[in-house]
Structure 1
Amino acid sequence: MKKTSKWLLALMLVLLLALAACGGGDDKSSDSSNNNEGENNKTAENNKDEGSDTEIFNIEDFSMTTSNTGEAIEDGTLTYGIVSDTVFEGTLNYNFYSGAPDAEIIGWFDEPLFDTDANYAFTNEGAATWDVDETGTVYTFQIKDNVNWHDGKPVTAEDYAYAHYVIGHPDYVGIRYGSDFENIVGMAEYHAGETDTISGIEVIDEKTLQITYKEGGPSLITGGIWPYALPKHVFGEMEVADMLESDAVRKEPIGFGPYKVTQVVPGESVTLERNEDYWRGTPALEQVTVKVVSPSVVVQALEKGEVDMVDSFPTDQFVDNAHMSNVEFLGQVDNAYTYIGFKLGKWNADEGKVEVDPNAKMADVNLRRAMWYAVDNNAVGDQFYNGLRWNATTLIIPFFPEYHNSEIETPTYDPEEAKRILDEAGYLDVDGDGIREDKEGNELTINFASMSGGDTAEPLAQYYIQSWKAVGLNVELVDGRLIEFNAFYDRLEADDPAYDIYQGAWGTGTDVNPAGIFGGNSPANYPRWTNEENDKLLAEGASMKAMDVEYRKEVYDQWQQLMVDNIPMFPTLYRSVLVPVNERVVNYTLDPASELRRYQIGVTQEEPVVAE
């Protein structure tokens, strides 16, 4: 950001406080998530916020696919940037990596066995197919005949099984082992060293593998099944504990994807060449270079054509560079959201379940609903994020278009309604000082925990505090300040009694199932709330019956409404991801429903287009 950013943020805060102090009135930003059709234009359509110089953008105006329709040249080269202020770790294998930069590199030379659809569910269009029996627990996987590792050896069922044996091994060094693997019959015993085999995994023939899971359901095919193979002919003679640091992971990684690694400059870059034997067809590019680009120079690197695209563009730099002349900004909805959570109970670690406290300070749903009505998240999205984050409604986000129900009515900014709810619920200003007491007439102070980090953290937290004050609620920061990220979550997980409410964020992954944060048996259920209907709907949404998308949609419609009715937390902002792509690039997309694949990405001229 420019040096004037703190001044601008202060001005934004003043404007937002003025909004919060106003009574009713129309919210001119309330239709920020309308259904305008995006065009394949140079960048998103935008407008100036009425009465200010703030430029507002709408994620729906961004295309997810490059508009260049030219023909790719035969032997083009492309440079892909990973925006990071640190080097990449260099763990270049899906079975061992832990950092997102490494995953960005791996994606160019290896791939999962299964393609996914618009809802991120496995299809049969990838390198392997899958089938499941009537119990929903026995899966049969068939690897296609023309799928080969870069050294020419076929990808086999034994390779797929071997990945499970390595990750489940007691000596495995990595982060992949967890509940998804323990859902495989016999895996826990193998992981404990009690047996040398995994009873639930059977190699049927060279290309066919069968895996039996303890529990079935739709979440298996949206991430619960491990989709990556590991070449046994390369790793089979190694000790499992030595694999992470081996040359096959660090220096000469192997896959079956569209490009083959030819050089690794540790921490800096990876050079790849076309895999002529790629199973989908001949890749369009002759060479790809993937390199780390610091956020401080990413704009210059794009303008000069030093990189053709980057994995994601820093949001705080977008407004000043939205009209960069040599790139097209693509955009999509992120799989994350921010929210305000209410502490409504505690986690019972001994019994592995949430215990709701009916006497918690925030136990009255009317108090929680009024606090939702009191905040103007449309204004927050516009003034703090230029529209690149926007008012959130339900707790199943638009990243899952099949399941997000935009028709459910949720509280939106209406301070007069907030005041009415508080009045009727008995939260009255007894002593006439402008601040409401609790229902017994006692002083009410609501302690608010919010994280530090970035220029917007402090003014955003203060905006929420002032918005609640405008309807008569006294809200104060826990410890009188913002809390560092790790300390914030340590205290949240420990149910620190100093927390009454908190501002958090949640990344959903690619599985729509919300049980990970809302299940009554989940330690990540930080509000510490559940009820019988919540547990029932979450179970139904993960059941075998929910393999029927229409049935699952009905269940999650009911669940979204249940959360609006009960409000253990309310979402504040949905998010966007922006990717700039040089004008010479063709066939690149962020759209999960697109039929375009990485091997089809090409360039229409030898040199990148540079900025004017």
Structure 2
Amino acid sequence: MKKKRHVFKFLSIVILALGMLLSACSSSTGGNSKKPEATKEKPKEDIGSFPLVVKNDKKPVADGTLNYALVSDTPFEGTLNYAFYTGNPDAEVLQFFDEPLFSTNGDYEFTNDGAATYEMSNDNKTITVKIKDNVNWSDGQPVTAADYEYSFLVIGSKDYTGVRYGDAIIQSIVGMDDYHTGKAKNISGIKIENDKTLSITFTKSNPSLLTGLWPYAMPKHYLGDVAIKDLAKSDKIHKTPIGFGPFKIKKMVPGESMEFERNDDYYKGKPVLGSLILKVVNPKVILQSLKKGEVDIAQFPTDQYKSAKGSKNFQFVGKIDLAYSYIGFKLGHWDAKKSLNIMDNPKFQDKRLRQAMGYALDEKSVGDKIYNGLRFPATSLIPPSFASWSNPDSNPVLYDPKKAKKLLDDAGYKDVDGDGLREDPNGKKFHINYLAMSGGDIAEPLAKFYMQCWKNVGLDVGLVDGRLAEFNSFYKMVESDDPKVDIYGGAWGTGTDVDPYGLYGKDVPFNYSHFVSDKNDQLLADGHSEKAFDHAYRKNAYDEWQKYMNDEMPIIPTLFRSIIYGVNNRVTDYTVDPKDTSFVWSKVGVSSDTPDAE
């Protein structure tokens, strides 16, 4: 009963906070003609106050077991290969048994400290990669140059069923187009020099090469007997995957839990932990799981931070995330045969409608009152974790309901029948179907808050099928361009390469809004052109792109986010500092066989 009372109390707090938000976003606020200065205020909780490294000076015990929570209200899909996974839950699983060939520094640039080293040619068009001799797959076979080549052969194949081929760097490998279209059996720009060394030559140099080159090898000896068209659904990826990370898979309950055992032959040295257990934990109970010591590490929902603050048996570490949330418009569809985005949906072609929907949203109140200041209004499509490239002065669309109403009036969306809701420019009923994802206590009230904000400027918005969609169903509907979906609430983890082409290019499937324009193509191309090796040139290209996308608004950037982790006091040597290039899971341990508990 105690647990139930606590959950009910927290839910009541959340609903109360949402109630205050709904009041703030009432029609009475529509007369505010000024862009709120409050958006510049400091948040209630400063992410800078969170430590980056867990505090525990005790020595780790030998052969300890760590419990890791994958915080989700839905099972993980279990597509356990970097070339094929699409959801962050699978990425959380992958990190323990597989990893990239290259380590990175604090600016997310490749270093030679990882499983492979590299050298660049003088013209920056050829990279030579050498895999270290002691790097082996978990079945004992060496990781080879042929394994790295195989990953490009899979992604570049016309039979490939994943979404990575849209990457601009992959497409610019010499001979990739001929291979992709079936004119060649191999990629001419990839040359294997010996078992451990290969070179990759590109049609043009690209400043993103050392942050965005595909860094993952695939075990050819293990996967090569499966047809590429069947790989994504094969048991070798879903049930018995292998990698060369610090742990090996010992046992799996599909979608629910993973038991890992130490990989004694890990190239960076024998891991401290003897085993690691990952299990899916619902966001609604993660706080109690941490307090009871049932889990040692969990990415913690920022909306619950207020209830967790002051906990004694676990601590928080945190940073600004390489991510942002957004509202996307379905402006067209993905033509799989042509591998192109086609912008042919007339419903949202008037950018004034899209802009108005952005101005209607009070994101500062969401960040302050729901996320305790640990999320804050997104001003562009490049997050501030990319300090050199993010531009907060890119004419962001911030909360201004009066401007939203004027834009709708000017675009011809007016309340013809006097029911408080606007008709379209032809005088017909105008309804917007909104696809929102479930997850945590605030998902539904937050979706209702957004719909209320839109209603306050006269737009009729309702949930697709009248309810939230769970993670897998959500992305299935988004990726398949389900005709029921007009707009959708998503989030992007950007990865460590600032180049946004892989999310917004005309020929990439991740461009879920299907926005296409010549100017977008040009600005994206400028950002990874040879001229962009000049920092000022590239900075200007991305400044212009951010302003352009804020004007066209194919998606509404909603919130930048801080990412925080709850960590049991017994955990040692765990950090989220991107500048700590020495961090690997093999160093993490526990200082006691028994977790701290309240």
- Percent identity, aligned pairs only, is 39
Q: Which residue of 1 aligns with 2:579?
A: 593
1:385 has 2:365 as partner:
no
Q: Which residue of 2 aligns with 1:63?
A: 51
1:264 has 2:251 as partner:
yes
Give how far 1:379 is off: 0.8
- How is 1:234-313 mapped onto 2 (pairs within 5 angstroms)? 235=222, 253=242, 255=244, 257=245, 259-261=246-248, 263-264=250-251, 267=254, 268-273=257-262, 275=264, 278-281=266-269, 283=271, 285-295=272-282, 298-310=286-298, 312-313=299-300
- How is 1:132-171 mapped onto 2 (pairs within 5 angstroms)? 132-133=120-121, 136-147=124-135, 155-164=143-152
1:560 has 2:569 as partner:
no
Q: Which residue of 2 aligns with 1:208?
A: 197
1:230 has 2:216 as partner:
no
Within 1, Cα distance between the matches of 2:463 and 2:73? Answer: 31
Q: Which amino acid aligns with 2:350?
A: A
Check 1:317–1:349 CA distance in 2 against 1; reply closer, same or farther (3 A cut).
Answer: same
Structure 2 gap ranges (5+) = 1-5
1:326 maps to which of 304, 313, 326: 313
Give how far 1:120 is off: 3.3
Q: Which residue of 1 aligns with 2:114?
A: 126
- How is 1:413-424 mapped onto 2 (pairs within 5 angstroms)? 413-418=399-404
Q: Which residue of 2 aligns with 1:449?
A: 433
Give how far 1:539 is off: 0.8
Within 2, Cα distance between the matches of 1:538 and 1:482? Answer: 36
Structure 1 gap ranges (5+) = 35-55
Q: Which residue of 2 aligns with 1:513?
A: 499
SS in 1 for 2:7: coil
Q: Which residue of 2 aligns with 1:30?
A: 39
Give how far 1:114 is off: 0.4
Deviations 1:127-155 (A, max 9, x none): 22223335654321122355455677654
- How is 1:432-443 mapped onto 2 (pairs within 5 angstroms)? 443=427
Check 1:297–1:76 CA distance in 2 against 1; reply closer, same or farther (3 A cut).
Answer: farther
Deviations 1:406-439 (A, max 9, x none): 243423323345456667888778998877788x
Find the structure with the greater CA-based Rg: 1
Q: Which amino acid aligns with 2:311?
A: M
Give how far 1:363 is off: 1.6
Within 2, Cα distance between the matches of 1:72 and 1:101? Answer: 31
Q: Which residue of 2 aligns with 1:16?
A: 21
Computed over aligned residues only, the root mean square deviation of the Cα atoms, in angstroms, reads 4.6
Q: Which residue of 1 aligns with 2:3?
A: none
Within 1, Cα distance between the matches of 2:334 and 2:139? Answer: 51
Answer yes or no: is the 8 Å Cα contact 1:81–1:308 preserved in 2: yes
- How is 1:318-467 mapped onto 2 (pairs within 5 angstroms)? 318-342=305-329, 352=340, 354-355=342-343, 363=350, 365=352, 367-418=353-404, 443=427, 446-454=430-438, 455-467=441-453
Answer yes or no: is the 8 Å Cα contact 1:248–1:254 preserved in 2: no
1:116 maps to which of 104, 123, 126: 104
Answer yes or no: is the 8 Å Cα contact 1:183–1:214 preserved in 2: yes
Q: Which amino acid aligns with 1:451?
A: L
Answer yes or no: is the 8 Å Cα contact 2:151–2:216 preserved in 1: no
1:574 has 2:563 as partner:
no
Give how far 1:538 is off: 0.8
Within 1, Cα distance between the matches of 2:258 and 2:172? Answer: 37
Deviations 1:283-340 (A, max 9, x none): 4x15232232432664454334343223x23455544333321111222334443333
Check 1:344–1:247 CA distance in 2 against 1; reply closer, same or farther (3 A cut).
Answer: closer
Within 2, Cα distance between the matches of 1:402 and 1:196? Answer: 41
1:542 maps to which of 519, 528, 531: 528
Within 1, Cα distance between the matches of 2:554 and 2:83? Answer: 36
Give how far 1:559 is off: 1.0
2:7 maps to which of 2, 21, 42: 2
Q: Which residue of 2 aligns with 1:44?
A: none
Answer yes or no: is the 8 Å Cα contact 2:119–2:128 preserved in 1: yes
Give how far 1:101 is off: 5.5
SS in 1 for 2:435: coil
Q: Which amino acid aligns with 1:291?
A: L
Within 2, Cα distance between the matches of 1:168 and 1:492? Answer: 20
Q: Which amino acid aligns with 1:381?
A: G
Within 1, Cα distance between the matches of 2:423 and 2:76? Answer: 53
Give how far 1:571 is off: 1.1
Q: Which residue of 2 aligns with 1:477?
A: 462
TM-score, normalised on structure 2?
0.78
Q: Which residue of 2 aligns with 1:38?
A: none
TM-score, normalised on structure 1?
0.76
Answer yes or no: is the 8 Å Cα contact 1:341–1:501 preserved in 2: yes
Check 1:544–1:495 CA distance in 2 against 1; reply closer, same or farther (3 A cut).
Answer: farther
Deviations 1:356-393 (A, max 9, x none): 78x8666253x544443332111122333333432111
SS in 2 for 1:406: coil
Task: Give the paired residue count.
Answer: 576
Give how far 1:397 is off: 1.8
Answer yes or no: is the 8 Å Cα contact 2:138–2:263 preserved in 1: no
Larger deviation, residues 509-518 vs 418-427: 418-427
Q: Which amino acid aligns with 1:475?
A: D
Check 1:468–1:171 CA distance in 2 against 1; reply closer, same or farther (3 A cut).
Answer: closer
